[in-house]
Amino acid sequence: MNEFAIVSSLLDNDFYKFTMQNAIIKLFPLAKAKYEFINRGKHSFPKNFSDLLKENLQEMASLKLSNDERKFLEKNCPYLDSTYLDFLNTYQYNPKEVFISQNGKDIHMSIEGLWSSTILWEVPLMATISELYYQLTGKKCISDNKIILLTKEKLEKYKKLNVKIGEYGTRRRYSYKVQKLVLNFLKEKGNSVFIGSSNVHLSRIFSKKPIGTHGHEWVMFHAAKYGFNIADQIAMENWLNIYGKNLRIALSDTYTTSVFLKNFDKKLANLFEGVRHDSGNPILFTNEIIKHYKKLKINPLKKKIIFSDNLNPNKVATISSFCKKKINPFFGIGTNFTNDVGLPSMNMVIKMVKTLPKTKKKKWISVVKLSNVKEKSTGDKNLISLAKKILRI
């Protein structure tokens, strides 16, 4: 690996990318996808940034699943069957799927290919962009000791709140080194509060089960294939068909929570252990979810909400206080753990923009995410308007 190589393991990625990849291979093996990089923070990239990014892609092409990594997955994720693990044994990143160009200080990037292949690019690419950006702009972070001290202060607050927290910060980390440093501390001192990380590679290093289920692109694809109105429902049913009694957390905001709840009937609400909140007011959301469970005559105290929207100790304190004796909250902390280093964190995403559900039909279908807040919506503006009209939002 060269001196600028940032991703050194095939498993240095979020767990839900692998769980979705497994489901795609089983259900939609011929589907194709297009992704685009969105520079929400209008960051200015230094000269030759794209060249170094391409070098990292070439380094990633040599990554392979090791025997020890396979054994870790077999032991900790038994629902990832041998057929999938055989596929992962042969999988390699293909840099030809990624198109990168630089115009002055702007970076343009898109990804295109089989969905089962391209799905793994998003998280390690964002982690690479983030770390390279700080390296090349000379933005130095606070010392390791200060990072540990900050992490300790946060952890003490979470312990006092008696909440369950996980680490979700791979994609916008300051660096691999910082994420590893924070995770090491959380593992050593987290006791019963810290439940694990979404990063599979670091979960293996620290002997923890990786956490996560599925992302927005899973539902976005279903909307392109089956229509906006029933996307949530079929996405959930397909997930259950693959994973049964495992990984049963439903994502609630791809086309707003109100639309999700229309699809979240008594059968699905009973089968899924809970839902994930990723946009909008968490208190209003919690109220909506509790009200929905009660309407279906389901006890909310037997269900979970995984909160994962830009969290910090103050937000967690407010949410956990509200949830007390009403529903069981869990918290996925991202950037506040892995990029709270005395510098502004990057605001960027890589999102699916088009899909080709059937290869016989050569017409690509645009996809959109509506979210509960306008800022988090992605996709073509005209299609967003059409989706809102169809869904009566």
Which tens digits make up the pLDDT trace of 342-390?
A: 999 999 999 999 999 876 667 899 999 987 887 778 888 888 888 889 9
CATH code for 15-140+345-391? 3.20.140.10
Q: How far apart are the first and last CA of the chain?
A: 50
Residues 76-90 pLDDT 10s: 999 999 999 999 999
Which residues have C-beta within 8 Å of that of residue 36, sequence separation ≥ 6?
109, 110, 111, 350, 351, 353
Say what percent of the chain tops pLDDT 90.
90
d(CA 231, CA 222): 5
- Nearest Cα to Cα of residue 262 among 307, 292, 222, 226: 292
* Digit-coded pLDDT (tens) for 179-195: 999 999 999 999 889 99
CA distance 193 to 65: 31
Quick check: helix, strand or coil at residue 37?
strand
Q: Please answer whether residues 20 and 222 qualify as being in contact, where contact means their C-beta atoms are separated by less than 8 angstroms.
A: no
- Please tell me the distance from the alpha carbon of residue 252 to that of residue 67, in angstroms, as a whole number: 36
CA distance 194 to 176: 19
- Report yes or no: 219 and 242 within 8 Å, Cβ to Cβ: no
Strands 274-277 vs 249-251: parallel, antiparallel or unpaired: parallel
For 243-270, the pLDDT digits (tens) are: 999 999 999 999 999 999 999 999 999 9
15-140+345-391 and 144-211+265-338 agree in CATH topology:
yes
- pTM attached to this predicted model: 0.96
Question: Measured between alpha carbons, how far is 36 from 41 in angstroms, rounded to an integer?
Answer: 15
| 95: DSSP letter | G
Strand pairing partners for 328? Answer: 304
Q: Determine the Cα–Cα distance for residues 212 and 386; give it in Å rounded to an integer.
A: 31
Q: What is the pLDDT of residue 393?
A: 84
The CATH number that domain 144-211+265-338 falls under is: 3.20.140.10
pLDDT at residue 359, as a whole number: 62
**What stretches of 204-278 adopt beta strand conformation (E)?**
249-251, 274-277
Q: Using alpha carbons only, what angle is made at residue 372 by residues 280 and 333, rounded to the nearest 5 degrees? A: 45
Comparing CA positions, the residue from 167, 49, 63, 163 lying closest to residue 109 is 49
Closest CA to 46 of 173, 161, 139, 141: 139
pLDDT at 113 over 80: yes
Mean of all residue pLDDT scores within the chain: 95
Q: Where are the domains of the chain?
A: 15-140+345-391, 144-211+265-338
Give the pair of three-digit tokens for residue 302. 């037997």
Averaged over 23-32, what is the pLDDT? 96
As a whole number, mean pLDDT of residues 142-153 equals: 97
